[in-house]
Amino acid sequence: MPAFTRNAYDELISRARRGGDREVCGVLGGRPTTGLSEPVVGSVYPVDNVADAPRTRYELDPEGQLEAIETLEDRGETLVGFYHSHPRGPPVPSETDVGAATWPGASYVIVALGGEPYIGSWLWDGEEFDQELVRIVVDERDR
């Protein structure tokens, strides 16, 4: 169950909107938080979408993905998962998304913009996605 700081949640929606009709993508970093068993997503690391059809698919640039993961680790964060947008599409993983998932234990977050913005998350277990509840929590740094 991924928890997001308000800033990270809002940043995902903003990045998806700025992407227009192209899917945007990236890596999500987080830190353990008192009282929660899972890290709270507080960092959004955009990575270039290098898919051959970026209006309907995403593929994280391998070098950009590696750089994002190294940066979050250098900052003492944990890799929580990956995100991409569905500018017009449904707020659920597509068959392409299922076929491209490769990181068991990671959350795959979709920002859907068909109507009101919607952020959904699915945990990849290595074979299939299980939908997760998305929550927004108060960032401890805001206290």
Give me the active site residues, please. Answer: 23
Q: What angle do CA 89, 126, 65 make, to 5 degrees?
A: 65
- 113 Cβ partners below 8 Å, 6+ apart? 16, 17, 85, 86, 87, 88
Alpha helices in the chain (DSSP H): 6-18, 62-74, 95-100
Rounded distance, CA 105 to CA 30, Å? 14
- Spatial distance between the Cα atoms of 143 and 125, rounded to a whole number of angstroms: 35
